[in-house]
Amino acid sequence: MHVPYAAWRKIRAQVALHKIWSAVAALVVLFGLYHFYAVFTAPSAATRYITTTVATGTVVAAMAETGQVSASTNVNVQSQSSGEVLSVPVTAGQHVVAGTALAYIDPVTAQENVTSAEQALQGARIALAQLTEPVATSTLTSAQNSVANTQANLTAARTAGYNDVSSAFLDLPGVLNGLDTILHGYLVPGRTSQQNENAYNDIVQPYDATVVQYSTAAESSFITAQNSYTAALAAFEATPRSASAVQIASLVQQTYQAAADLSDALKASTNFLNFVDTTLTDHAFSIPPILTNQIASLTAYTNTTNANVAALSADTTNVTSDGLALTSAQASLAQLQAGANPLDIQADQLAIQEKQDALAQAELALANTVVRAPFAGTVAALTIQQYQNITNNETVATMVSDNQNVIISVNEVDAAKLKVGQKATITFDALPNVSIGGTVSSLNTIGTVSQGVVSYNATVTFDTPNPRVLPGMSATVNIVTDVTTGLVVPVAAVQSTGGTSYVEVFNPPLPGSENAAGAPSPVAPTDVPVTVGLSDTAHSIIQKGLAVGTQVVVETLAGTGAVAPTGAAQSTSFFGAGRPGVGAIRALRH
């Protein structure tokens, strides 16, 4: 029992020696147990939501860029016309406004061109009006009468043609038979065993061999005439008087051709017999009476046939011309009844457009006879004088503009938002109290690259020049790039995930949440997908997904989860202090 007692005494001695540190260690352990208990037994703080109500509003998107004020611009004003300078109403050094006349050029030729263009345009308009004007009753009646008259003429021509065909077939058979007898009969004295043409050929050939050509021509033309006659006669027999207009026209033409071929055959036979008569006379042979009689018969046949040829030729011409006249009259009537041709109307409309363009050019040329100041500024110099003849594009004056500009350089993202005509507000570092309205007047579409960054120059022109603003001053330009009115929510209300935008909505609304402290809710808000439009630094336009009056979450105040006990929990602390740890520090100090 001595060893254990000795060990106990040793431990007690160590505790007595280190009683302060032992006490501290015990207190730390007790505090840790107490804090652990407090954390896991304290009530949780609820999540709070700050909301706002969707309302209609306007979002203005703008960009701020810096640049420098540029100096005034010198411009050579050129004439866009040529001719004699009638007057120069300004002097060098004079200040003028935009549009002020700097020189007057003789306008006589230009005015004449305008007058001619106006007349041409008026003529084109009249032509179109006439084309599209409804047809007068008298005009339509006249066209109908024309069709009726030409139809009657054609009917008469066909009737006359058929009658002349009938007459021809009363004459032509006898003529053809008579010619056949003259050529192929056996009537030559002393040669009755031979056909007449062969007998004559044999009698004359010893004295002149040319007779063979005449006899051959007579025989050939007779065969042709006989064939034409046979075909025409068959057509006549097959074509009654009541036949169609086309059939009668064909019959008249065919009969005319038969008569013409028979006339040619009579002529060839007459030439043949005359040659025989002449040869026999030249060689002092007596002329057989039969030859003289045959020549006389041929003359009579020719007269009869030629009369038929003339009548049938006139009939052919009349039928053809009257048929064409009827076709033309019918086409005119059809056109009147159908109205204007759409292609003709289109052509006249194009003609009017051409005349209008010509007039516009003539009027522009007339306007260009007055050389005007393109902008407000000072006439620095005049390069022409009165009565001088100048040419197109010749310099009239040099002007210094009143315009003041700020040249800015924007990156490629902002350049895509810029457009000529956008409004801006310009402020200056050197003039803190000066603010001037401006307009984007130009944008350089060719960018410059510096260290991999693309930038574009743009010019913002002062709406009102200010003499206090000097070239080279630094300026800040706030450009309004877009303005949209619609449903507006704070930017903080819009969240995105997976490429989809949404807002958190309480429905029904959460009472007391539209203030800085927000309000707790036992129910989480609902995610509503939205389509976001224009946004500025604070607000966004909602194009789709929300309605006016909807309550959306702007900010979520997360709960603490677990906090140190307060109230009764603190009063039970064995340290006797309301703040954990203070008692321990006090104990250490004792």
Question: Domain 74-105+369-399 belongs to what topology?
Answer: OB fold (Dihydrolipoamide Acetyltransferase, E2P) (2.40.50)
pLDDT of 5 reads 56
| Model confidence at 444: pLDDT above 90 | no
Task: State how far the Cα of 253 lies from the Cα of 165, in Å rounded to an integer.
Answer: 9
Q: pLDDT tens-digit profile of 286-327? A: 898 999 999 999 999 999 999 999 999 999 998 888 888 989
User: Is it true that 48-57+486-557 and 74-105+369-399 share their CATH fold?
Assistant: no
Asked whether 263 and 309 are in contact (CB, 8 A), the reply is yes
Question: pLDDT higher for 506 or 568?
Answer: 506
DSSP 349-401: HHHHHHHHHHHHHHHHHHHTTEEE-SSSEEEEEE---TT-EE-TT-EEEEEEE
Task: State how far the Cα of 112 lies from the Cα of 519, in Å rounded to an integer.
Answer: 84
pLDDT of 586 reads 31
Question: pLDDT higher for 412 or 386?
Answer: 386
| Model confidence at 352: pLDDT above 90 | yes
Over residues 512-529, mean pLDDT: 88
Question: pLDDT higher for 443 or 16?
Answer: 443
Determine what percent of the chain is predicted with pLDDT higher than 70. 87
Question: pLDDT higher for 511 or 558?
Answer: 511
Q: pLDDT tens-digit profile of 534-550? A: 988 899 999 998 989 89
pLDDT of 522 reads 84
From the list 221, 226, 236, 217, the residue with the least C-alpha distance to 177 is 226
pLDDT of 196 reads 94
| Model confidence at 88: pLDDT above 60 | yes
Domain ranges of the chain: 2-45+564-589, 48-57+486-557, 74-105+369-399, 113-135+342-367, 142-338
| Model confidence at 26: pLDDT above 70 | no
| Model confidence at 509: pLDDT above 80 | yes
Q: What CA–CA distances, in Å, run from 486 to 41, 392, 550?
A: 50, 54, 14
Question: pLDDT higher for 138 or 107?
Answer: 107
pLDDT of 74 reads 78
Decide: pTM greater than 0.85: no
Mean pLDDT of the chain: 85
pLDDT of 574 reads 34
Question: Domain 48-57+486-557 belongs to what topology?
Answer: 2.40.420
Res. 561 pLDDT band, cuts 50 70 90: very low
pLDDT of 539 reads 93
Asked whether 550 and 54 are in contact (CB, 8 A), the reply is yes
pLDDT of 11 reads 56
pLDDT of 70 reads 78
Over residues 503-514, mean pLDDT: 89
Beta bridge partners of 460: 406, 440
Of 56-70, 175-189, 426-440, 554-568, where does mean pLDDT reach its minimum?
554-568
| Model confidence at 576: pLDDT above 60 | no
Q: pLDDT tens-digit profile of 259-269? A: 999 999 999 99
Question: pLDDT higher for 581 or 235?
Answer: 235
pLDDT of 20 reads 56
Over residues 91-96, mean pLDDT: 91
Determine what percent of the chain is predicted with pLDDT higher than 90. 54
pLDDT of 570 reads 36
Question: pLDDT higher for 488 or 402?
Answer: 488
Token code pair at residue 258:
């038969």
| Model confidence at 16: pLDDT above 60 | no
Task: State how far the Cα of 53 lies from the Cα of 55, in Å rounded to an integer.
Answer: 6
Beta bridge partners of 482: 61
Over residues 106-119, mean pLDDT: 95
- DSSP H helices in 451-581: 568-571
CA angle 332, 334, 336 (to 5 degrees): 70
3-state secondary structure of 154: helix
